[in-house]
Amino acid sequence: MAQKEEFRILSTTAILGYGFPAASFEEGMKRKPHLIAVDAGSTDPGPYYVGAGISFTDRGAVKRDLEIMLKAGIPNKIPVVIGTAGGSGAEPHLAWCKKIIEEIAEENKLHFKMAVIHAELDKGFIKEEFKAGHISPLEPAPALTEADIDATTHIVAQMGNEPFIKALDEKPDVILAGRTYDPVCFAALPIKMGYDRALSLHLGKILECASICATPGSGSDCMFGYIGDDYFRVEPLNPIRKCTTLSVAAHTLYEKTNPYILPGPGGHLDLHNTKFEQETDSIVKVSGTVYVPEEHATVKLEGAKPIGFRTVSIAGSRDPIMISKIDSIIKGVKERVADNFRGKLENYHLRFNIYGRDGVMGDLEPTPDTSRAHELGIIIEAIAASQEQADTICAFARSTMLHYGYEGRRSTAGNLAFPYSPSDFHAGEVYVFSVYHLLRTPDPAALFPIEYFNL
């Protein structure tokens, strides 16, 4: 049986808005891609963005990237696919990105058909599924409650291939999707065309971060992928980068806890027999990946709820005596704050993040020894029900620590150095992930309504 032509995919950047060199994109277009695709979001920046309905990427930067992609894809009849619009993929993010595309179409006189796939779910539906026992925690998330559902501002489901394949039946020029499993915007079209599902998803896993899989890696440069009958290949488009078996294999493990099992909506990739081969000095060939479907299909739910307002103060210390006593000083400051506001303001959270000791790893830091530190960075964080209350707690904690007396102190002028004036910053509303669970569903496409627009 004759082998299929290689399916060619141009991945522009690790996240839409992170940018890419025009020269790299042009190199990709010379290879005549069948698909131009980009992942536009992530939960990495934390719960604020899905909770607040705001993108973590800059509008101007997103528009720049999209304009280049659309002006190349549409005239050449190459589908342009965007996953997790606006960074988090809820309704406000989807509308935000759709508006940018409409502006580009109008300003450049572009005419095309666009499919918009929605990912935000109605809370009433979520409650029904919760009561029916169809929602379970994605460890280590706690069990869901109705109160969590009510308090959560936006709940999105992470879609798999099915909604994209359904949308592609209508032959849109552009697909703009809400929250998406990252590899899917690269994998759905080749899967629909009959290419191997496992290899398509594995290649999508590599391409979703573009040139991060190369060496030197970059989140703001293009990458090219080819899918054959029983393999795929990845090639950087910038001459300063190379793909190696080590760099591509390492990126396969990105954000995964098991080196052989890569879970996603509806099933997982099994990498026990995956081979990474150096085809040229810059191209790696991959084969042997297998797809294992779940017995019962699930999609991941994501959502965040507000818990208050944050104020922070940034300071530093270079006093070796204070550094050696930092834990007892923090304990004393917290006790003084609690005593000062007892009976008046007690519902708050006060945290001291100590950089130079365990500011990055926190309780997981294996070497939290301050005896070797010559300076510490101190982040004082207060969270309370209102911005005014957070300001009050942070200001009092900061001034208390500034003049806190400890054994051995020689100078009474002040314990802390402040790099900024004013020293306290309003960080605004604070969100925490409140929904991070799996929803069992008999029809993974039905959860995600599709609209079509002619621009």
**Which pLDDT value is given to residue 257?**
84
The one-letter amino acid code at 418 reads F
Percentage above 90 pLDDT, the chain:
93
In this predicted structure, the answer to whether residue 1 has a pLDDT above a threshold of 80 is: no
Provide the token pair at 104: 């580009």
Would you place residue 2 in the very low, low, confident or very high pLDDT band (cuts 50, 70, 90)? low
CA 395/CA 421 separation, integer angstroms = 13
Q: What is the mean pLDDT of residues 346-372?
A: 91
Return mean pLDDT, the chain.
Answer: 96
Rounded to 10°, the helix 59-73/22-30 angle is 20
In this predicted structure, the answer to whether residue 3 has a pLDDT above a threshold of 80 is: no
For 364, the 3-state DSSP assignment is helix
Rounded to 10°, the helix 245-252/197-207 angle is 100
The one-letter amino acid code at 251 reads H
Q: Confirm if 383 and 309 have CB atoms less than 8 A apart.
A: yes
Conformational region of residue 25, where left means phi above 0, alpha means psi within -120 to 50, and beta covers everything else: alpha
pLDDT, tens digit (0-9, with 9 covering 90-100), for 71-105? 999 999 999 999 999 999 999 999 999 999 999 99
**Which run of H or of E encompasses 438?**
strand 424-440
Q: Give the residue carrying structure tokens 């291939």.
A: 161
In this predicted structure, the answer to whether residue 235 has a pLDDT above a threshold of 70 is: yes
Report the candidate in 407, 380, 408 with the shortest Cα–Cα distance to residue 394: 380
In this predicted structure, the answer to whether residue 431 has a pLDDT above a threshold of 70 is: yes
CA 266/CA 191 separation, integer angstroms = 14
Q: What is the mean pLDDT of residues 146-163?
A: 97
**Rounded to the nearest 5°, which phi and psi values hold at 423?**
-80, -20
- How distant, in Å, are the alpha carbons of 182, 204, 231 from that of 227? 18, 10, 6
Report the candidate in 430, 393, 394 with the shortest Cα–Cα distance to residue 307: 430
Q: What's the predicted TM-score (pTM) here?
A: 0.94
Provide the token pair at 288: 């042997």
DSSP summary character for residue 5: P
Q: Confirm if 445 and 367 have CB atoms less than 8 A apart.
A: no
Report the candidate in 156, 165, 171 with the shortest Cα–Cα distance to residue 193: 165
**Which pLDDT value is given to residue 256?**
81
pLDDT, tens digit (0-9, with 9 covering 90-100), for 160-189? 999 999 999 999 999 999 999 999 999 999
**Which pLDDT value is given to residue 46?**
95
pLDDT, tens digit (0-9, with 9 covering 90-100), for 259-303? 899 999 999 999 999 999 999 999 999 999 999 999 899 999 999
Q: Confirm if 96 and 85 have CB atoms less than 8 A apart.
A: yes
